Chain A
Amino acid sequence: MSENEMTGNLFLFAGAKAADAKISETKQAEIRLVERICAGDIEAFDELYKTFAPLVHGILLAKLPREDVDDIAQEVFLSAYKNLHTLREKGAVGAWLVMIARNRAAEFYRSKKPTEELSENLQSKDNPQTEAEEILTAIRALPDAYKETLVLRLVEGMTGQEIAERTNLTPESVRVNLHRGMKLLRRKLGIEE
């Protein structure tokens, strides 16, 4: 092993350590936040909402019609507030919210058959809204693991590391989901690599 490779490995190791320290910090902050909410602090709940609203929005957007996403996101947070005392691992509040959002989306489809009205601008390919909807529809057609990660990355603008932190997934699995999902999306959209 050359000196350059060894130096590179050392830097990588140092970077991983720093990332781990950052994760533990965010976990500690989440735990404190949850404890404050359990103690009846409404401001802490607002803070939690601001932190995790994009995550819940992204998860719901990957599954539900756009017009229902905001309402159901509010329901998810209300449900979370009522049942927060039942959360055992307080550092995994993000994953817990994702689970509630998934359950709510499933309930939505159980109670109501989804109907999509045809847009007036459906025919015009040049309209950016149509293109956006087309991409979103293609993402929604992907498997759950890929579509949720891709929406969080492409729509909500979160980095891979942020997605891993919020959803309690390992960075490796998020990376894999992103790349495989992107590959499938390109194929669906007919984009050549």
Chain B
Amino acid sequence: MKEDYLWDKSGTDAEIEKMENTLAQFRYQETPAPVIIQEKVLTVEAKPKYRFFNFSHAFSFASCAAFVLILLGVWFYNADKILEIGNELAKEITPEVKINLPEKRDFIEPDREIKTSQPTERPAFTKAKFSSKKPISLKAKPFKQTRKKQAVKLTEEEQYAYDQLMLALSITSSKLNLVKEKVAFLESPNLSVKQESQ
């Protein structure tokens, strides 16, 4: 049967067999398989591209900002409590210092004389001798008092204020002197030697 031979070479078909024999010269001749060269691929890590907007930087910035905001919120929410705690701590740390200040009126010394500077008169010019031929007029010019040196006339209130101010200044200076002496005493080398000996 013709069909069988064309399909599975069963039976005979002279025509197809002839064709096969003729075309056999073009048939695949066994050749070795192509030589495979196993390539070793070198992998080079590419540098990461520079990006203006970096997600990791943006994320870290956002997290920092959120943290700061939270801190501020906590601070404002508990500001009163924190201040109270701070005050208590300050009280505990610092010792109590009692300063007995005299009353205002105690410093008033009604009998005290306050000397105020009075303008003094300028001495008169004396004649001087000059070698030059030209006569020089040695007439003394009348003394003109400057406004600064004019006697100050104070009202009673002003005088009182002035006195008080001077009194305060004198007290302050005396206190400062005391402090200065004390500091000098504490810093003196003899004292440290004594303390060591004790």
Query: Which residues of chain A have a CB within 8 Å of any CB of chain B?
Result: 40, 42, 45-46, 49-50, 53-54, 57-58, 61, 66, 70, 74, 77-78, 81, 128-129, 131-132, 135-136, 153-157, 159-161, 175, 178-179, 182, 191
Contacts and interface: CB of A to CB of B under 8 A. Distances in A.
Nearest to A161: B8
Interface in B17-31: 19-20, 22-28, 30-31
Of the listed residues B8, B16, B23, B36, the one surrounded by the most CB atoms of chain A closer than 10 A to its CB is B23
B16 A154 contact: yes
A57 B23 CA distance: 14
Contacts of B26: 61, 66, 132, 136, 155
A155 B34 contact: no
Nearest to A53: B28
Contacts of B114: none
A61 B38 CA distance: 29
Interface of B: 3, 6-9, 15-16, 19-20, 22-28, 30-31, 33-34, 36, 38
Contacts of B16: 154, 182
B22 A128 contact: yes
Of the listed residues A77, A129, A132, the one surrounded by the most CB atoms of chain B closer than 10 A to its CB is A132
B22 A131 contact: yes
A132 B6 contact: no
B33 A49 contact: yes
B34 A136 contact: no
Contacts, number: 71
5 contacts: A129-B25, A132-B23, A154-B20, A157-B27, A191-B15
Nearest to A163: B7
Nearest to B38: A40
Contacts of B6: 153, 160, 178-179, 182
A54 B3 CA distance: 23
B19 A156 contact: no
B40 to A, nearest CB: 13
Nearest to B26: A155
Contacts of A156: 27-28
A33 to B, nearest CB: 13
Nearest to B37: A78
A153 B26 CA distance: 12
Contact of B33 (A45, A57, A154): A45
Contacts of B36: 42, 45, 78, 81
A42 B15 CA distance: 42
A58 B28 contact: yes
A68 B27 CA distance: 14
Given A135-B19, A136-B26, A178-B6, 14 more contacts: A40-B38, A49-B33, A50-B30, A54-B27, A61-B26, A81-B36, A131-B22, A132-B25, A132-B26, A154-B19, A157-B24, A159-B8, A160-B7, A161-B8
Of the listed residues B24, B30, B36, the one surrounded by the most CB atoms of chain A closer than 10 A to its CB is B36
Contacts of B24: 155, 157
A70 B32 CA distance: 11
B25 A160 contact: no
Ranked nearest first, the 3 interchain pairs of A and B with the lowest CB-CB distance are A49-B33, A57-B28, A160-B7
B33 A155 contact: no
